[in-house]
Amino acid sequence: MTRLTVCWVPPPAPPEGPLLSFLPPIAEETLAHAARGPFLRARACSAAARAAALETYLRVSASIGASAEPNGPTLRAECGGSAASSWWYHPGSFKACEMDPAFSRLIAVHAVLEAAESLGASELETWGAPREIVAVLRARFAVAERRAPASHPRVLLLLRAAGSRLAFAADALLDILAARAADVGAGRADVLLFGYWDWSCWFDGRKIVDRYFKAFPERLSARGRSVNWLCWLDPGGDPARPRRGRFESARDAARRGIVLMQAFLEPLDALRAAADFRPLGAYLRRRGRPDFRAVFQSGDLDLFPLFEECLLRGFADASIPRATLVERAAQRAAARLRPRAVVHFLEHYPQARACYAGTRAGAPSALTATLQHATFCAEKTFYFLEPAREFRGEPDGLPVPTPDLVLAMGLKPREHFLSYGYPPQRVVATGSPRFDHIRPPAPVKSWSGKGVRLLLAPALDLGMEAQMLEAARAAAAGLPGVSLRLREHPFVQPRTDAAYARARAGLELSSSPLKEDFAWADAVLFSYSTIGEEAVLRGIPAWQWRPLAYDASALSEAADITRFTSVSGLREALEHFHAGRGLPDEPSRNRLLEQLFFSGDGGGAERAAAALDAALNVRSE
């Protein structure tokens, strides 16, 4: 009888039989050299296994809120809410793969199933496996569990969640007081751009700068549309900029004519939102019932352990109260200001859902829109909506709040939005003002033939990116002429993840504009940063360090690029580097530009403004 050893931590001695590794890169490479049987890397599991995990995760996630007892209300109906069901503000309904490990753990389950099937294994020996994964696998395998991670009592999770609610209530009260103390002015405009003051938009000493809308407001103004910002007071959201006090930030917003949403709230609103435990009660009443648990059944596997922690935490912590306040403020602001359109930039994020729902409740004739802020793909699950149960709201008539108009970055994301249930007339591919600097594909960048300069481009999942940095350092160690430069995401806070902090220690940190880093680099190594897409269009090879977890790279979905699953493979590529290795050919890169960015003519802001203007004209007829 074959036993498969599955490792999240190194075993004390290499096992005799087959081994499946979920180890960090250096530990994995060490064990691979010492292995005494077939050695499999979970990072290299098949596309079919990942697709099966994705399908299951999306199906289960879409079914949770719509679950109901016979002749009874659905969970999302019982959660209550005002302009929308509170369920739509829960991280589980958002499918937040960057924050919740459920999808990544489901990928791990399918990697184990694939490996066991290929080897004919009926027994597992796990080293350091997450308890949730072991609980799922026991339905199919005899599992010998070694070095199981410490488990945390549910009461500790609830205490932390309660603490987050208390902290939220205190911060919300102070934000409301700060916004109400500032003179926010009338703020009326045809188009209100939803922002976060002062991290998505701020005053730079000359004008208001918006990192996402860019030239969009100017293009709207040129069409005769009055524009203003409707902002959630949120100082300190950008770690790269000096943090200001909320009262100072609110006064600055008022001086610029910015409308602060918290000015439409009362202190009692914050207390009521923090004290509303109806959604938690609805969940706790259902969590052990057979009809509810059936949602998590996938063949002979019970997947509830993978979702349990996220569900409980999301109902108990400040996630729902925070979005509820956004909804309430948006409703009152829309009722008083009567805009013709309110535009967000965070697609299906909970705060964007709250903005759409609140705007419709306060000003039913107003158009809601979203301007896509970043590239995405199938495994970036927080964009996904199931057409029937989520987009159309079957069976209870409680659909997820969605925008009336989607201004999509390219043809590929437009396809994704249509697959979610949007009618074609509600999704227009325009390009994005944020990426109007992108130009048509450049020729393959020349290489000096001496040494290799590798630009490391991590994104926001620091646990994932720590492994990429570790792999790069190990692959480059001792190779003459290989230089590494780290270009961090502007929102990264290295101290929040010890493994990431260790992996970045001693690396050259870039403080240069992106175009200068591209001029320096011979290749780019990334997991899912948009820098990968930009590199390919500039004629620079973009190499992906394949994640163990979700793959959120639009580039890896849309183009055939070089991917690495081992330190030894990456090291070999550096040793035998040549210009253009793994770079798609020119026709493929032209298609990539159209698929992801629509055009390289710098006209995204203008096309987006034209599409919104046209939609407003149609609505006024």
β-bridge partners, 20: 6, 40
Separation of alpha carbons 513 and 154, rounded Å? 46
Which candidate, 226, 292, 237, 287, places its Cα nearest to that of 259? 226
Please give the backbone phi and psi of residue 598, each rounded to the nearest 5 degrees, phi first.
Answer: 75, -55
Separation of alpha carbons 313 and 307, rounded Å? 10
Mean pLDDT of successive 10-residue stretches along the chain, which has 621 residues: 93 93 97 94 96 97 94 95 97 92 97 97 96 97 93 88 95 96 80 96 94 98 97 85 89 94 96 97 95 96 97 97 98 96 97 98 98 94 96 97 98 97 98 96 91 95 95 96 94 85 94 95 96 96 95 93 96 92 90 96 98 94 71
Separation of alpha carbons 606 and 603, rounded Å? 5
Strand residues in 154-302 grouped as ranges (E): 191-197, 201-203, 208-210, 227-233, 259-260, 297-298, 301-302
Query: pTM here?
Result: 0.95
The pair of structure tokens assigned to 386 is 């199931």
Please give the backbone phi and psi of residue 128, each rounded to the nearest 5 degrees, phi first.
Answer: 70, 20
Please state at what angle helix 47-64 crosses helix 304-316, rounded to 10 degrees.
Answer: 40
Whether the ω angle into residue 198 lies within 30 degrees of 0, i.e. cis, is yes
Q: What secondary structure letter does DSSP report for 388? A: I
Task: Report all structural domains of the chain as residue ranges with CATH numbers, in order of start.
Answer: 2-72+98-146 (no CATH), 172-265+319-435 (3.40.50), 452-597 (3.40.50.2000)
Separation of alpha carbons 10 and 8, rounded Å? 7
Whether the ω angle into residue 413 lies within 30 degrees of 0, i.e. cis, is no
